[in-house]
Chains A and B, each alone.
Chain A
Amino acid sequence: EVQLVESGGGLVQPGGSLRLSCAASGFTFSTYWMSWVRQAPGKGPEWVANIQQHGSEIYYLDSVKGRFTISRDNAKSSLFLQMNSLRAEDTAVYYCARDKEAGATKLDSWGQGTLVTVSS
């Protein structure tokens, strides 16, 4: 069974940093792209970033470019999101999602999410 478990969320002041982690199990992590998707309270999902199997291709939402960094450790089946210079508008539940092996994106497994609150 595919399992994705996020951690690292919490309350942070504007301008602060957080590092989210996602522990994957139940599938061969190194053969899949992985994505982070966020959902602000009462809003729809918003794709944030994704990373190719070996990290050679990475894409970001424009509003997080230069502030967020996605990375992965295939040996530990783990995905990360380093978030710096956080803003109030980054407040959301952040989900880790399994992306494609090849071809077009399809987010076919999601974690339970971790809440990030940016507030003073």
Chain B
Amino acid sequence: DIQMTQSPSSLSASVGDRVTITCRASQGISSYLNWYQQKPGKAPTLLIYGASNLQSGVPSRFSGRGSGTDFTLTISSLQPEDFAIYYCQESSKVPLTFGGGTKVDIK
């Protein structure tokens, strides 16, 4: 199985900050990488698919990069509604493994 490792596991940031979250796969997965946001008590929502494609309706301050084993999710200017947990997920092969998550909270 492919292991997905996210870093950091948590971070504190202020509104307006630029935030970058990293996800590393245990083996190459080309661009088969998705990013999700989850708020307390809610289901995850898809932000980015195929490593860099913005899901319809997602604000353009979110962006994704990477291929192979190393990926990043960047929020260019953090907004109050962005405080949440972010998960990466590989979509290369089953089982479709999620990373451990990065909690973004208010500094």
Instruction: Decide if B50 touches A45 in the complex (CB within 8 Å).
Output: no
CB–CB B100/A44 < 8 A: yes
Q: Is the CB of B44 within 8 A of A45?
A: yes
- Interface presence of A67 (CB below 8 A): no
Q: Does B91 contact A (CB under 8 A)?
A: yes
In the complex, what residue of chain A is closest to B46 when comparing beta carbons?
A108
Interface size class of B (residues with CB under 8 A): 20 to 34
Main secondary structure of the interface of B (DSSP, over half): loop
Count, A-B residue pairs, CB within 8 A: 59
Where the two chains meet, the residues of B that have a C-beta atom closer than 8 Å to any C-beta of A are 1, 32, 34, 36, 38, 43-46, 49-50, 55, 85, 87, 89, 91-92, 94-101
28 A/B residue pairs, CB under 8 Å, sorted by A: A44-B85, A44-B87, A44-B100, A45-B36, A45-B38, A45-B87, A45-B98, A47-B98, A50-B96, A59-B95, A60-B94, A61-B95, A62-B1, A62-B95, A95-B43, A95-B44, A97-B43, A104-B92, A105-B96, A106-B34, A106-B49, A106-B50, A106-B91, A107-B34, A107-B44, A107-B46, A107-B89, A110-B44
